[in-house]
Amino acid sequence: MFKMNILNSDHTVVDALNLKTRQRLLEAAGEVFATVGFRNATIREICKRAHANVAAVNYHFHDKEALYSAVLQYTHQCAVEKYPPNLGLGDNATAVQRLRAFIRSFLLRFFDEGRPAWHGKLMAREMIEPTHALDALVENEIRPNSQLLELIVLELLDFRANNEFVQLCVRSIVSQCVFYHHARPVINLLYPDQKYHREDIERLTDHITRFSLGALKEFKKQLRIKKK
């Protein structure tokens, strides 16, 4: 029994060390991929930053492609866990409240000062230079959030719009959020007073929400007239 307990304890220590190594690889790989992209990243550089043996990538992820996919999933899941699309709203929340929460969570995931800088940079790079990993990311992480926003928009349009129109509205709303991150260097040059602290995120959230609601309200009127 005593010997068995020692063996179990040894396994626990090894498992804990493996988890720490895996975590360091994810963090180091994220930094490297965000800086130089998937194609230019090397296993050697990633392992150097992670203070891990080169064979560790093969042990934990098999190859660079699988590591990259894991990093994308990891960063997106971390962001959504911290800032879920509904931000903890109850089941009785209105569509307007849910829309604002969705927009606010989207912006916070991009501009959270507490997250490593590479998180948003990596996601932006993947959108611009898509890799093999994008398909899985869209299916497992992005599509469910998109469908959630579609339901919110459909409700705000009194369930009168077809799928194509709803999806156009969804893309317009998301585009407003994405613009502030992807075009940040240009915005900084044009509008140097634009900041991205928490209070600035609240103002952006309110503006994008009001702007979107104004458009949806007008669309709803047009849809009612068309139905008549």
Residue range 41-86, pLDDT digits in tens: 999 999 999 999 999 999 999 999 999 999 999 988 888 899 999 9
For residue 17, the model assigns a pLDDT of: 63
How far is residue 12's CA from residue 177's CA, in Å, rounded to a whole number? 44
| Matching CATH number, 2-62, of 3.40.50.2300, 3.40.50.720, 3.40.50.300, 1.10.10.60 | 1.10.10.60
At 16 the pLDDT is: 57
Q: What is the CATH number of domain 76-227?
A: 1.10.357.10
Residue intervals in the chain for CATH 1.10.357.10: 76-227
Residue 128 has pLDDT above 90, yes or no: no
Is 50 in contact with 56 (CB distance < 8 Å)?
yes
> Which residue in this structure is represented by tokens 């790989």?
29
Average pLDDT of span 103-110: 93
pLDDT in tens, 190-212: 999 999 999 999 999 999 999 99
Angle of helix 2-40 relative to helix 118-128, nearest 10 degrees?
Answer: 50
Can you give the pTM of this predicted structure?
Answer: 0.85
Mean pLDDT of 122-141: 90
Closest listed residue to residue 212, CA positions, set 44, 100, 59: 100
Residues comprising the chain, all counted: 228
Listed in order, the ranges of the chain carrying CATH 1.10.10.60 are 2-62
Tell me, rounded to whole angstroms, the distance of Cα 202 from its chain centroid.
18
Q: How confident is the model at residue 119 (pLDDT cuts 50, 70, 90)?
A: confident
pLDDT at 10: 47
